[in-house]
Amino acid sequence: MTTENNGGRRGDVDVATTMANLIEPLSLTQIEKLTIDAIQEHRALLAKAEAAFESLESAEAADAGTAGELRETYTRMMLAARAQQMVLAALIERLGFIPSVPSA
């Protein structure tokens, strides 16, 4: 989200504040469930990013022509994982503890 255009630069809305405002009306039970879901999603995203990185390393080692495409995939996976990590951190901060996560 952005607020206004400042000479070609746009001011960012404080993401942490936006997330806090979304989380604030939820009950602790709802936040705990969302946190568990977010932990599971974060783990899945990290596994995908790791697999993408391994594919990239293999392609680079083999001097394959797919390295550029694989680098984009890896970058996209890492951005998704980082964004999810920010959401997870906001949920854990509001919840006040890291909940127990059932085995997958």
pLDDT score for 12: 56
The owner of tokens 């080692």 is: 61
46-53: long-range contacts, CB 8 A cutoff, minimum separation 24:
46/81, 48/77, 48/81, 49/74, 49/77, 49/78, 49/80, 49/81, 52/77
Domain 13-95 annotated CATH 1.10.760? no
pLDDT digits over 24-49, tens only?
Answer: 999 999 999 999 999 999 999 999 99
pLDDT digits over 54-68, tens only?
Answer: 999 998 888 878 888
Task: Write down the domain spans for the chain.
Answer: 13-95
Residue 93 pairs in a beta bridge with: none
pTM of the model: 0.80
